[in-house]
Amino acid sequence: MHKTTVVVTGGSGFVGSNLIHILKTKGTYNIRLMDRSQHSLFRPRTLEKLLENVNVVVHLAGANRGTNTELLKVNAEGTLGLLEGLAAQGSPVKIVFASSVLVYSPTSLYGLSKRIAEQLIERYARIYPIKGTILRLSNVYGPGGRPFYNSVVATFANLIRAQAELTVKGDGLQTRDFVFVKDVVEAFARAIEYEPAKVDVFDICSGKETSLKSVVQTLEKIVGRPIPVRYDEGQDSFPRVHLDCSRARTALAWQPKTSLEEGLRLVMGAF
């Protein structure tokens, strides 16, 4: 049986480790992982063997914390290096890119770095035999999320287990769109099989806005006790964004399946 060769960058991260697991269970892929001891997105020549005869590249490697310089370097310049490596191969290839809904925010440097990466994919797709599927992820959470780094839910769970006070910027009424990591990696699995016309873009989200205060209330229900919370008077810098997964539902035959309460129970069980 012919197997699709899939290269994954960022395979050891939160989404990446979950994706590798699901791809291995399907048994229809040859999976190659980028190894930072051998490969560098900033030196495309080091990617030559990794990208040889590849069918799909899932580009998850990136930074969502750091200085402005670090965010732009890793997310934009790193994507550029990967595209240069693919262009040097000269063979038809699909790239599935982990972007962010923060591309919709005019104030987020992280979102800007992801938007530049998207534009680079669009540009290279016009010139080279490269096709792209861009998945704009909302607030991904689940077991394995890193507290104080990539998941407010993981941060809350960590503090609750330590019986420490939660700190919420703003009044807690600000909303997020939370999507469970298992649902997210299923979207990536569908995107690997999807054939874009050139470059297609999808929101990967729950389509539901949930306030941080509501998240705390659900966590209180799960742990069976009040949770101490301090609401910071400072303004929350995260914008309210209404997201729509209908295009992903139609084109990728994907939809989120995990309710927030179910997902939060799984997170609490992992701490």
Q: What is the CATH number of the domain that holds 186?
A: 3.40.50.720
Domain boundaries, position 237? 4-270
Q: In terms of C-beta density within 10 A (0-12 exposed, 13-18 middle, 19 or more buried), how is residue 268 classed? A: middle
Residue 240 has pLDDT above 90, yes or no: no
Mean pLDDT of 22-43: 96
How confident is residue 232, by pLDDT bands cut at 50, 70 and 90?
Answer: confident
How confident is residue 236, by pLDDT bands cut at 50, 70 and 90?
Answer: low
Residue 255 has pLDDT above 90, yes or no: yes
**How many domains, in total, are found in the chain?**
1
Mean pLDDT of 56-71: 96
How confident is residue 157, by pLDDT bands cut at 50, 70 and 90?
Answer: very high
Angle between helices 260-270 and 152-161 (to 10 degrees): 50
CA distances from 96 to 9, 83, 135, 177 (A): 11, 12, 7, 22
Q: In terms of C-beta density within 10 A (0-12 exposed, 13-18 middle, 19 or more buried), how is residue 55 classed? A: middle
How confident is residue 150, by pLDDT bands cut at 50, 70 and 90?
Answer: confident
Residue 234 has pLDDT above 80, yes or no: no
What size, in residues, is the chain? Answer: 271
